[in-house]
Amino acid sequence: MGDKRHGIGVTSAVATATFSSSISISYIFCVLNPTGGMKSESLPKVVPPVCHLKKRYNMVYSRQNPLRVVTLCSGYDSQCLALDRIKHFYPEFDYELVAWAEYDPESKQPIDKQPAVIAHNALFPQWKDRNLGDMTKIDWSSIGGGIDLLFYSTPCQSVSQAGLQHGFTEGSGTRSSIIWNVRDAVKTLRPKYLCLENVKAMVQKKFLPTFNLWQKELEKLGYVNFAQVLNAKDYGVPQNRERIFLVSIRIDDESNTPKYNFPKPFKLNLRLKDVLEAKVDEKYYLSDKMMNMFHQNGRVNSSQDGVISDRDGVSQCHSAGHGNCQKVIEDV
């Protein structure tokens, strides 16, 4: 191996966060028209100008009238990172995270010591006291009304190809089946907009019937749904990361059903070398012994997750369930 060093995990972390933000920006702009008066040519490159809703609803969210947001299964809240980016591009826009819910029932740590909660509080200390914890036990009426946007990125472990794929059927008790608890939040809060983001496997043949049942549930609650699989590499991020997005818009006028267009793909100009950090702590590098494992036909145990990435290329998607198959970048 000579003097080669072998970085691990850096690309997945950076690209995943960037992807979440850039895609979130796209659909938030398209659905909500936060500034109310922007022109297509003024949009940042990562926000394709495909929304026509502003002509019909003329919605404006500002410091005087902030977008009121609730996030469920929040993690570190890449959704709020996206909203912060909107504020960067359009200072007149503002939002308020009214409530968030992050809790790991399998953790032995108190909630404020759990990794995702620590990360959220580090990024958004101003909303540290708004974590409602276990979303299956929340009294949604305590939040009050006037919620504009509800994000829910429920656990993917039970549908992901990296997991056992036990599904998310209502009442099954799997981690992914917590999605059905979102229904109570929707019934009580009646947000104007809903957005689900999850792994592509949620709409594969095995789970598509359950996904369609969820959509029908939202239709019963008075929403129109728009679903599409989007790939990060089509929206400015050098990572091959496919995710299903479900945007749901509340129907307030039966004679004027809302319409929605997902952002159009555009040419990718970035590569891994453009987002990797120049200086990385030694703990993120693999030994030659470990690298020999990854060099078995360029993969680990014939798994798609052990692909060795090139700095001039695009990162593959890291599957968290395969702990022995991390992404590798050869740093010569």
Q: Does the pLDDT of residue 122 top 90, yes or no?
A: yes
Cα atoms in the Cβ-side hemisphere of radius 13 Å centred on 135: 29
* Across 163-183, average pLDDT: 73
Q: For residue 102, report the phi and psi dihedrals to the nearest 5 degrees.
A: -140, 125
Please report, rounded to a whole number, the percentage of residues in the chain having pLDDT higher than 90. Answer: 30
Q: How far apart are CA 3 and CA 291, in angstroms?
A: 13
In this prediction, residue 193 carries a pLDDT of 94
Q: How far apart are CA 118 and CA 91, in angstroms?
A: 28
Distance of CA 279 to the CA centre of its chain: 27
> 236-269: per-residue pLDDT in tens?
888 888 889 999 999 999 888 898 888 888 888 8
Residue tagged 């479900």 (tokens): 246
Per-residue H/E/C for 92-153? CCCEEEEEEECCCCCCCCCHHHCHHHHHHHHHCHHHHHHECCCHHHCCHHHCCCCCCEEEEC
Q: Which of 9, 8, 7, 12 is nearest to 241 (CA)?
A: 12
Q: One of 156, 195, 317, 325 is an active-site residue; which one?
A: 156
In this prediction, residue 9 carries a pLDDT of 36
Residues 285, 241 share a domain: no
207 within some domain: yes
> 38-67: per-residue pLDDT in tens?
333 333 444 433 333 344 334 478 888 999
Could you give the number of structural domains in the chain? 2
Residues 294, 237 share a domain: no
Instruction: State which of 235, 250, 265 marks the end of a domain.
Output: 250
Residue-range definition of the domain harbouring residue 327? 281-331
257 within some domain: no
Is this model's pTM higher than 0.95 or not? no
Residues 212, 288 share a domain: no
Residues 298, 241 share a domain: no
CATH code, 71: 3.40.50.150
Active site residue 156: yes
Instruction: State which of 229, 250, 271 marks the end of a domain.
Output: 250
Q: How far apart are CA 117 and CA 200, in angstroms?
A: 26
